[in-house]
Amino acid sequence: MLTRKQYELLVYIDKHLKQTGFSPSFEEMKDALLLKSKSGIHRLISALEERGYLGRRHHRARALEVLRLPDNMEQRPVVAPVAANGESPPAFSPHVIQGDFSARLPGVRTATDSPAVQLPLYGRIAAGLPIEALRDSGTMVDVPMALLGGGEHYALEVAGDSMIEAGILDGDTVLIRKGEVAETGQIIVALVDDNEVTLKRLRRRGNSVALEPCNARLKPQIFSADRVKVQGKLVGLLRKY
């Protein structure tokens, strides 16, 4: 028998996994359940693990997995949490960009009679190679159309653990929308000195650009703005288990 909060958290994690492919962060779970601290989330997760509802892949970030759901999940309503002011918070609703696929996207082959498109798959992103050098023109990857918007896209295989705290793991396939403009805080593919390509979070600091890893063990790299060119920004992620 689950408590109301345990049930709400399990449902939230299950929906997040189905919608994004990875588990929510502790901060997202805390906000979704209107808790004041992450310690409450830790206790709820531990209780769900003990009861066999959740599992955790150790040594990997954001790697919760739902092992089973309550038998009465379909019939049991989730009681909406109430904020301190007595009002119900807005319901969780993922932001999905709906693309117009009535016409072929530039650089994309549409899979016939399929709810997916095929994107060119570039190789494993690694230092020392310009982005075009990574392209394997003979390899394509099927991508759900709902993950893409307008514009030209490509897929890229991730190597290493520099972005694990953003839920991007070694071996994942990231979906990139080509472009030369990005806002600070976005995860981008950056070309440094016309030679080295990397996937990092962009931070602008005056006339400097910081490329930040999402891994507490690694330090950001800071360059003058003229040394960094944006090659595209992250719009989605695919993962195989």
Q: Which of 5, 23, 30, 162 is catalytic?
A: 162
Q: What is the rounded CA–CA span in Å between residue 117 and residue 220?
A: 35
Instruction: Give the CA angle between residues 195, 199, 204 to the nearest 5°.
Output: 90
Q: One digit per residue, pLDDT tens: the chain, 241 residues?
A: 678 888 889 999 988 888 887 888 888 898 898 888 888 888 888 888 888 888 877 555 567 888 888 765 644 444 444 444 555 555 444 444 444 444 444 554 443 444 678 887 776 765 444 555 555 556 788 888 777 878 888 888 888 888 889 998 888 889 989 899 999 999 999 988 887 888 899 999 888 999 999 988 889 999 999 999 998 999 888 887 7
Q: What is the pTM of this model?
A: 0.51
| Count of C-beta atoms within a 10 Å radius of residue 201 | 21
Q: Is 93 a catalytic residue?
A: no
Domains, the chain, in order of start with CATH, read 4-66 (1.10.10.10), 117-238 (2.10.109.10)
Among the listed residues 30, 200, 229, 233, the single catalytic one is 200
Q: Write the CB contacts of 100 (distance below 8 Å, at least 6 apart in sequence).
A: 150
Q: Is-catalytic flag, 200?
A: yes
Quickly count: other Cβ atoms within 10 Å of residue 143's Cβ: 21
